[in-house]
């Protein structure tokens, strides 16, 4: 009983710190976007001056630099929920800055019962874990794949990432590589999924880590109740 309370307090503290971290990351991304828009007219004037002077090579280089800069702040995935878009794209931006290629396809289906905050906790935890695993590997071995969508009558989320050696399990929890105050991320995801009557599984093997979850859609629950 006492041990459960200690663990719950650690999880609550971890979640609080995690949400603050996500807010800081999203705010950082939005600051970059606002800064780029603020400089927009200066970019146009610089391009017009180079064009008028016939410096077309300079224009091409300038446009290339602008494209690279915009890529780091552009929202590339739209899930249908603004808060989730911010977290997901913020994490993808961090991955890109660390030379981790991300292949993401995400659309939250209608009838998904999970709140925005819980979705952010789930996605944030899984992508934090994926990024941390990748950072231990050489750049040429890194990757993250994300799929969010509908699978039959279920909300479905899958995250697969490159990893090192297979991680051992202690009970239902994977042993952390970061110390006693860490390792609660996957546990937090599992408890959140359970709250919505869903199923969560995670599998570690040499070279890769996979996290997968299914949560019944509201329309499916309603049909079951009518039956």
Give the residue extent of every domain in the chain.
76-226
Q: Is 176 exposed, middle or buried (0-12, 13-18, 19+ CB in 10 A)?
A: middle
Number of other residues whose CB lies within 10 A of the CB of residue 130: 26
Average pLDDT, stretch 184-206?
Answer: 90
* pLDDT tops 80 at residue 154: yes
Q: What angle do CA 144, 153, 107 make, to 5 degrees?
A: 40
Query: Which residue has better confidence, 84 or 66?
Result: 84
Instruction: Quote the pLDDT of residue 142.
Output: 97
Q: Considering only CA atoms, which of 131, 128, 119, 129 is closest in space to residue 84? A: 119
Least confident of 34-38, 92-96, 126-130, 169-173: 169-173
* pLDDT tops 60 at residue 224: no
Rounded Cα distance, 143 and 93, in Å: 14
Dihedral (Cα; 188, 8, 113, 204), 10-degree rounding? 20
* pLDDT tops 60 at residue 7: no
Average pLDDT, stretch 29-48?
Answer: 67
Dihedral (Cα; 107, 111, 116, 118), 10-degree rounding? -100
Residue found under tokens 């009557």? 197
The CA-to-CA distance between both ends of the chain, in Å, stands at: 39
Number of other residues whose CB lies within 10 A of the CB of residue 97: 9
The model's confidence at residue 188, banded by pLDDT at 50, 70 and 90, is confident
Q: pTM for the complete prediction?
A: 0.67
Rounded Cα distance, 196 and 189, in Å: 11
Instruction: Quote the pLDDT of residue 208.
Output: 94
Give the range with max mean pLDDT: 14-28, 163-177, 184-198: 184-198
Does the 76-226 domain belong in CATH 3.30.565.10? yes
Average pLDDT, stretch 43-50?
Answer: 75
Rounded Cα distance, 36 and 72, in Å: 11
The alpha carbon of residue 131 and the mean position of all alpha carbons in its chain are separated, in whole angstroms, by 9
Instruction: Quote the pLDDT of residue 181.
Output: 41
Helix (H) or strand (E) holding 171: none
């Amino acid at each position: 009983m006492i041990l459960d309370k200690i663990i719950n307090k650690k999880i609550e503290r971890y979640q609080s710190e995690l949400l603050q971290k996500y807010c800081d990351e999203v705010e950082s991304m939005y600051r970059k976007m606002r800064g780029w828009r603020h400089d927009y007219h200066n970019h146009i004037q610089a391009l017009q001056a180079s064009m008028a002077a016939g410096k077309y090579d300079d224009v091409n280089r300038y446009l290339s630099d602008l494209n690279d800069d915009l890529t780091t702040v552009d929202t590339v995935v739209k899930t249908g929920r603004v808060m989730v878009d911010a977290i997901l794209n913020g994490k993808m931006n961090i991955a890109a800055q660390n030379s981790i290629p991300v292949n993401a396809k995400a659309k939250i289906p209608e009838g998904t019962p999970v709140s925005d905050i819980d979705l952010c906790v789930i996605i944030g935890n899984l992508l934090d874990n994926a990024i941390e695993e990748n950072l231990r590997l050489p750049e040429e071995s890194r990757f993250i794949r994300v799929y969010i969508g509908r699978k039959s009558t279920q909300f479905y989320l899958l995250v697969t990432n490159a990893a090192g050696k297979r991680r051992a399990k202690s009970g239902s929890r994977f042993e952390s590589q970061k110390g006693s105050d860490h390792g609660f991320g996957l546990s937090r995801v599992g408890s959140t999924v359970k709250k919505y009557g869903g199923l969560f599984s995670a599998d570690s093997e040499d070279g890769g880590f996979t996290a997968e979850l299914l949560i019944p859609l509201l329309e499916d629950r309603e049909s079951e109740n009518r039956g």
